[in-house]
Amino acid sequence: MSKEIKNSVEYILKKNGKKTGFSVPSDYFNNLEETIAIKLLEKNFSKEHNFEVPATYFNNLEDTILASVSPEKKETKVISFKERILRISSIAAAASIILFIGLNSFVFKTNKALTLDSLSNDDFEFWLDSNTITTSEVALVLEDDLLDENDFYFLTIKDETIEDYLNNSIDYKDLLNEIN
């Protein structure tokens, strides 16, 4: 008996042996608020039929639906590619002419002529350092400028000068090595 609560309904009914004539459906109190709210809303609704269907509504219903669903055939406008290219090319040509005139009048307007003398020594040294020049390239450039024997017809060179040059500037050991 200690496990049972003395004031509970089940305990009293068990001891009393009597059943009361009242019963409550299951989940009655759980759904009570919703049920009351629904009943109040139903009382506010009018009992009359407020909506009426026109007499010929169902006769034309199928035609109306099909007319709104089926696509209308519209004539599409065709723009030829040739016309578009001609229009764009004329605009591009006008823009390029304006750009050319604008750049020439503002950017490239210099009166200074560029010559080798206008280069600074630093620029020349930088170019020589960054570009390697081979002897074959130098020979190709100077090939046209080689002196011809006829270029010296007005000069007279003495034989002694030629002998001195040969004796002092040529190393005979190298010549002998080249021959062998």
Query: Is 139 contained in some domain?
Result: yes
What is the reported pTM? 0.22
CA dihedral sign of residues 45, 48, 49, 51: negative
Query: Is 45 contained in some domain?
Result: yes
Written as six digits, the tokens of 96 are: 């390029």
Domain that holds residue 153: 120-179
Query: Is 83 contained in some domain?
Result: no
Q: How many independent structural domains does the chain possess?
A: 2
Query: Is 94 contained in some domain?
Result: no
CA atoms within 13 A on the CB side of 122: 0
Cα dist. 82→36, 75, 86, 88, 93 in Å? 76, 21, 6, 10, 16
Query: Is 125 contained in some domain?
Result: yes
Last residue of a domain, one of 44, 69, 94: 69
Query: Is 100 contained in some domain?
Result: no
Along the chain (180 residues), what's the average pLDDT of each consecutive run of 10 residues?
Answer: 65 70 76 88 76 82 83 79 88 90 72 73 80 77 68 77 83 74
What's residue 146's pLDDT?
Answer: 67
Query: Is 111 contained in some domain?
Result: no
